[in-house]
Structure 1
Amino acid sequence: MRKRHGERLLFEIDTLTIEAAAGYVLTGVNGAGKSTLLRMFAGLERCEACTVEFDGERLPLHPYPAALRKAIVFVHQHPIMFSTSVFHNIAYGLLARGESKRAVAPVVEAAMHWAGVEHLRDTDPTRLSGGEKQRVALARARVLQPRLLLLDEPTANLDGPAREQVMALIPTLLDAGGSVVMACHDRDLIGLPGIHRLKLRDGRLEYR
């Protein structure tokens, strides 16, 4: 896995193994390529000559395969919200997959309860705080039951209480059976029990 910015080689990674139902933090200095690496896995940025092994099958990351599009969900540091309602934002992915409104409703209600945003059900997300948006984004990702959830700086720029609320959700995402990779600098996230550490340094990936 290789990525260049112009003439500069951002990183070159021979192998990265992500175990099922495991949590990882991806650390490194600003500009090391943490967000870029996650975006490549999510098909949001082109990957040069990259392949992955998924369910025993070797797949290219370009063009991005449908199997990975369903299995991998990326949550941006500053989540984009539709100017509708919290409920609709969480429901959107399931409805886009063709699920009926009747089937989606109880799933979304449970996700809002999980994220602690049920009182915001009919609120326009553009009026939410940063912490509330992050919890809505996590709920929106969770209902899709991803095999791999990619979080880009999930606690960055959040105040104390909002940060703690988001942090409390991370272990429960792992309990659902998927894997989570978080790009972050947050020492408390890095120190969560059972979380493996990956570090991008000088274009190489180190396992800690």
Structure 2
Amino acid sequence: MSTLLQVRGLRKSFGQRHLLDIAEINIEQSRAYVLTGMNGSGKSTLLRILSGLESAQTDEIKYLDNATTFSPYPRHLRNDIVYVHQHPVMFSGTVAENIAYGLRLRKAENIEKQAALAMCWAGILHLSDHDARHLSGGEKQRVALARAKVLEPRLLLLDEPTANLDGEAREQVIALIPTLTQAGSSVVVVCHDRELIALPDMHRLKLRDGKLELRTTAA
């Protein structure tokens, strides 16, 4: 596997509290990782740093073997790295309009077709004309995943995608994760969901005392 993103010497502090002191992060192309750790260990903060939503000190950053930076956060990273919040915000309008939002910002072609394919992938085509703000938690999470996937990110960062979901809604979200790497994206998922952690070919990263440990691949 080729390396997609490599970050060395990543440090993050809040006042006198040193939250992260990570020697190295290596994210390979088309690979899925689950990021675990105690509450407050900095998992969500790390995702926000990787997506350019939060600042941090770094010694070296390489993206596709080319030197880059997180500050300022370059446009090519903003296009290629997409972050999905644990509680995704639905924009005013229909599900279809939500899915197409990023494509319209990028002035993409065949927007309606791409949005329809993304909705089919997420199993929400039947909701295309529904007000996105009035969906269930599981439906909103699948809209958020489709809204991210339609942009064809090289790296997708998911923060607790199955939190507060149960039953069929949770199973539907978990089933979508492997299809993302099959489509060529790398995925980093913050979660405590044992079933998601145990997905085949899922590599485990654990945050402990500000350090990042690579665990064995889940069976």
User: TM exceeds 0.5?
Assistant: yes
Partner of residue 47, structure 2:
38
Superposed CA deviations along residues 14-54 of structure 1, whole A, max 9, x for unmatched, are 11000000000000000000000000000011122354201
Deviation at 1:170, TM superposition (A): 0.5
**Runs of 4+ off more than 3 Å:** none
Relative to the length of structure 2, the TM-score reads: 0.92
How many residues align? The count is: 206
CA drift at 1:98: 1.0
1:126 lines up with 2:133 in the alignment = yes
Partner of 1:4: 13
Q: TM-score, with normalisation over the residues of structure 1? A: 0.97
Matched, 1:166 2:182: no
Q: CA deviation at 1:94?
A: 0.7
Q: What secondary structure does 1:136 align onto? A: helix
Structure 1: state its 5+ residue gaps: none
CA shift, 1:60, in A, is 1.2
SS state at 1:167 partner: helix
Q: What secondary structure does 1:60 align onto?
A: coil
Whether contact under 8 Å (1:87, 1:122) holds in the other structure is yes
Q: Does 1:146 align with 2:169?
A: no
Higher share of residues assigned strand? 2
Deviation track 1:71-117 (CA, whole Å, cap 9, x = no partner) reads 100000000111101000000001100124xx111111111111111
State which drifts further: 29-38 or 111-120. 111-120
Which residue type is aligned with residue 203 of structure 1? G
Tell whether the 8 Å contact from 1:50 to 1:60 is kept in structure 2 after alignment.
no
Report the residue type matching 2:85 in the other structure: H
The answer as to 2:69 corresponding to 1:60 is: yes
Kindly provide the CA deviation profile for residues 174-193 of structure 1, in whole angstroms up to 9, marking residues without a partner as x.
Answer: 11011000011111111000
SS at match of 2:88: coil
Report what 2:104 is aligned to.
Answer: 95
Secondary structure at the aligned position of 1:17 is classed as: strand
- The structure, 1 or 2, with the larger RCO (C-alpha pairs under 8 Å, 6+ apart) is 1
